[in-house]
């Protein structure tokens, strides 16, 4: 290992909090460069990135058009307190709102913040302000962030365990995870059994959710990832989300869609909920809206939830919300996707990638399931029976991929993987939307090299 890397790691051990996720890897990986679909280490070794900063860099590292926009903004209006207006903020909000008006006939407004979890917090304020309810529904396997409010609607107890009691913890409902159905049903014959189980919660007041006399639910909203992210890039069965929204509407429960990881064409559409026949009352976005260049997040909410009369000035605030660097870059990202129909490109590239994954599955017993929507794809790693989850194999492949010693011809490569899933055995793939077929083929080759190295069958 290079001496300067040893020094960086030593200083990390001495001076940096280990409370973030950097130290999931042991030792943490140090990178020095990036371009397109690749990261580069101190030796110039190329690492094909299959997760692109948790789907924040949808349009590739060092995307020139987006980077040039940031540089131009730095030279014009790089800083401005969020209590003042600038045109980029207004124009960005206009694009998001007009998209909703023109395509779905729904008027609304946008409120900006910095990170995804902070936008989730803002959405919780909108929900509480409108409904007067402090409790929410959310999905098992869902992930919405690690601030206190976002942790309360994120299903993993390990994110809450150290921080005391969460009186406003969500009620978690099983997500329709058909490969590992929580009810041991088969998708071909179950007739969305999981949704029927949700409906049962409202059959009588003694289920503790519903007062039939007043027609009131104790829960204000249902927070969903239309396609689960950290839970393992799980696609719900056809019709499920539409049935869920119908159930919620009958009981005046708001539907809030978290688009932080799956938004901005990751699934082939601007927002992932558009794939599932629903229109949420609120949706939250972040990450790829700026291609990872400058933190910006936000929420869109229906007019009656966020009008100036309902949600007046000062209802929520952040010093760096709607910062001009972030809004200018996000504006350029959305302009870029509007100039051509971006959906067919993502669909075609995703179909090619998924076909290669199915070929991979046919060759390896340990690959239990592959699926995808657009360029959000998954590989479920199992024991040789093709079903029993193998977290050990996923962990080995994650670490081996970061060594950067996979020899293809006379050139060394690494492969950057991300692990998700309820049993931490799913390789979740969020490559650049600009990835080439040649890079997809290279990735499949590198992945199979890792499988062989890790003793998979």
149-200 pLDDT, tens digit each: 999 999 999 999 999 999 999 999 999 999 999 999 999 999 999 999 999 9
Fold match between 31-62+342-454 and 68-339? no
| pLDDT mean over 257-281 | 98
Q: Which residue has the higher pLDDT, 21 or 69?
A: 69
Secondary structure letter of residue 85 according to DSSP: -
Band (340; pLDDT cuts 50, 70, 90): confident
Q: Describe the strand order of the beta sheet including 282-285 as a list of residue ranges.
A: 108-113, 297-302, 282-285, 254-258, 219-224, 135-139, 171-173
What whole-number distance in Å separates Cα of residue 349 and Cα of residue 330?
23
Cα separation, 208 vs 219, whole angstroms: 10
**Residue pLDDT, tens place only, 109-130:** 999 999 999 999 999 999 999 9
Q: Mean of the pLDDT values across residues 202-207? A: 92
Q: Closest by alpha carbon to 330, among 271, 362, 286?
A: 286
How does the average pLDDT of the chain come out, rounded?
96
pLDDT tens profile 137-146? 999 999 999 9
**How far apart (Å, rounded) are the C-alpha atoms in residues 185 and 174?**
13
Contacts of 250 (CB under 8 A, 6+ apart): none
Closest CA to 109 of 371, 300, 247: 300
pLDDT of residue 201: 94
Task: Give domain 68-339's CATH number out of 3.40.640.10, 3.40.50.700, 3.40.50.300, 3.40.50.2300.
Answer: 3.40.640.10
The whole-angstrom separation of Cα 234 and Cα 372 is 8
Count other Cβ atoms within 10 Å, centred on residue 157.
Answer: 10
Average pLDDT, integer, range 306-323? 95
Residue-wise DSSP of 155-205: --GGGTGGG---TTPPEEE----GGG-TT---TTTSSSHHHHHHHHTTS-G
Domain range summary for the chain, segments of one domain joined by +: 31-62+342-454, 68-339
Q: Are 332 and 65 in contact (CB under 8 A)?
A: yes
Q: Is 373 helix (H, G, I), strand (E, B) or coil?
A: strand
List CB contacts of 149: < 8 A, sequence separation 6 or more: 120, 121, 124, 168
Tokens 């990835």, residue located: 435
pLDDT of residue 1: 81
pLDDT band, residue 24 (cuts 50/70/90)? confident
Q: What is the pLDDT of residue 13?
A: 95
pLDDT at 236 over 90: yes
Q: Is residue 324 very low, low, confident or very high in pLDDT (cuts 50, 70, 90)?
A: very high
Report how far residue 56's alpha carbon sits from residue 90's, in angstroms, rounded to the nearest whole number.
23
Classified by CATH at the fold level, domain 31-62+342-454 comes out as 3.90.1150
Q: Is the pLDDT of residue 26 over 90?
A: no
pLDDT number for residue 25: 84
**309 confidence band (pLDDT: 50, 70, 90):** very high
The mean per-residue pLDDT over the stretch 190-214 comes to 94
**pLDDT tens for each residue of 389-444:** 999 999 999 999 999 999 999 999 999 999 999 999 999 999 999 999 999 999 99
Q: What percent of the chain has pLDDT over 90?
A: 97
């Amino acid at each position: 290992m290079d001496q300067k890397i040893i020094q960086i790691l030593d200083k990390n051990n001495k001076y940096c909090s280990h409370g973030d996720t950097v130290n999931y890897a042991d030792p943490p990986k140090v990178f020095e460069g990036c371009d397109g679909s690749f990261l580069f280490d101190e030796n110039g070794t190329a690492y094909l990135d299959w997760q692109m900063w948790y789907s924040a860099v949808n349009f590739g590292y060092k995307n020139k058009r987006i980077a040039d926009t940031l540089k131009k903004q730095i030279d014009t209006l790089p800083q401005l307190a969020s209590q003042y207006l600038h045109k980029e903020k207004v124009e960005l909000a206009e694009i998001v709102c007009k998209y909703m008006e023109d395509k779905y006939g729904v008027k609304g407004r946008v409120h900006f913040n910095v990170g995804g979890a902070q936008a989730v917090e803002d959405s919780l304020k909108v929900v509480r302000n409108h409904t007067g309810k402090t409790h929410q529904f959310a999905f098992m396997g869902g992930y919405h962030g690690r601030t206190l409010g976002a942790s309360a609607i994120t299903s993993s107890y390990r994110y809450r365990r150290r921080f005391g009691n969460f009186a406003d913890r969500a009620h978690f409902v099983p997500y329709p995870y058909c490969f590992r159905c929580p009810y041991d049903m088969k998708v071909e014959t179950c007739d969305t059994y999981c949704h029927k189980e949700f409906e049962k919660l409202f059959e009588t007041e003694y289920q503790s959710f519903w007062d039939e006399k007043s027609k009131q639910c104790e829960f204000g909203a249902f927070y969903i990832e239309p396609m689960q992210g950290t839970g393992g890039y799980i696609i719900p069965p056809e019709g499920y989300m539409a049935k869920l929204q119908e159930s919620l509407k009958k009981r005046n429960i708001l539907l809030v869609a978290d688009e932080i990881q799956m938004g901005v064409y990751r699934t082939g559409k601007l927002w992932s909920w558009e794939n599932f026949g629903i229109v949420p009352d609120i949706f939250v976005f972040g990450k790829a809206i700026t291609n990872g260049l400058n933190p910006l997040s936000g929420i869109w909410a229906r007019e009656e939830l966020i009008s100036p009369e309902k949600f007046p000035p000062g209802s929520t605030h952040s010093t760096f919300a709607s910062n001009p660097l972030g809004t200018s870059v996000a504006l350029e990202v959305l302009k870029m996707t509007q100039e051509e129909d971006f959906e067919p490109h993502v669909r075609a590239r995703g179909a090619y990638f998924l076909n290669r994954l199915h070929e991979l599955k046919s060759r390896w017993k340990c690959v239990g399931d592959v699926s995808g929507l657009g360029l959000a794809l998954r590989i479920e790693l199992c024991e040789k029976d093709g079903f029993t989850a193998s977290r050990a194999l996923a962990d080995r492949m994650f670490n081996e991929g970061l060594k950067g010693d996979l020899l293809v011809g006379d050139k060394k490569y690494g492969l950057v993987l991300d692990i998700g899933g309820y049993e931490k055995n799913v390789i979740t793939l969020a490559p650049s939307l600009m990835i080439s077929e040649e890079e997809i083929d290279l990735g499949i080759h590198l992945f199979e090299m890792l499988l062989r190295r890790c003793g998979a069958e």
